[in-house]
Amino acid sequence: MPVIFDAHLPSHIIAATQANANPSFPPLMLPIDARLWGQGFRVDLSLPPVEPGSTAAVPRRLDSTHGLVVTLPVVPLSVPHAASMPLLLLFALGLETQPNILAWRLLPTHVVEEFPNAPEMARVLSRLRGERFEQLFNYNQGIWKNILALGLKGTELVELVQTVWNVTAEAKRIRQRLQRQRQ
């Protein structure tokens, strides 16, 4: 992998695939630090050790390029929702330290502004247009499933995403009730 900044380099690459996805889709290659993974998740990846004599990846120059590259062990990982893994890793590994930013990424601004009134958040969210709502529903369900499958340790993050998921699921129920009433 190319090295953009020669500090705090990852120790491994996760090759994340979605459990129920088309196997012809390439895995999502996600750099991680093994130590941070262990602090953030309960699931043991059985990570292969880094090169002997080194605790971190060592960048090197290739003859054909002027940039640095690093070679890292690759670990396959099947997850419920591959698309939400980069965002989950950003927060679970402590690379982003403001958990409220996650709420703003998972829900539209006008929904988050109703916090802490979860019923009103769900009502406002239920008014989102069809395709946009379905995308948001699938993403929020996916990140919640990833948290459960990987055993996220950060209680604050777990509670935040659980609240987001509960609001999203209730918005779906509201939409379904309204649809039945229209029929």
CA dist., res. 117 & res. 93, Å (int): 29
Residue 7 lies in a domain: no
Full domain range(s) for residue 58: 12-182
Residue type, 177: R
Residue 2 lies in a domain: no
Residue 150 lies in a domain: yes
Residue 120 lies in a domain: yes
Name all contacts of 55-62 with Cβ < 8 Å and 24+ positions apart.
Answer: 56/9, 56/11, 57/9, 57/10, 57/11, 59/3, 59/6, 59/9
Q: What pLDDT score does 70 carry?
A: 77
Residue 140 lies in a domain: yes
Provide the residue-wise pLDDT of the chain in tens; the chain has 183 residues.
666 665 667 888 999 999 888 878 899 999 999 899 999 999 998 876 655 665 566 666 776 666 777 778 899 999 999 999 999 999 999 999 998 899 999 999 999 999 999 999 999 999 999 999 999 999 999 999 999 999 999 999 999 999 999 999 999 999 999 988 888
Total structural domains in the chain? 1
CA dist., res. 123 & res. 130, Å (int): 14
Residue 178 lies in a domain: yes
Alpha helices (H) along the chain: 34-40, 85-92, 99-106, 109-112, 118-126, 130-150, 155-182
Q: What pLDDT score does 49 carry?
A: 62
Residue 5 lies in a domain: no
Q: What pLDDT score does 55 carry?
A: 57
Q: Which H helix or E strand runs over 77?
A: strand 74-79
Q: What pLDDT score does 57 carry?
A: 65
Residue 103 lies in a domain: yes
Q: What pLDDT score does 140 carry?
A: 98
**pTM reported for the whole predicted model:** 0.87
Distances (CA, A) of 26 to 16, 17, 23, 76, 147: 9, 8, 8, 12, 22
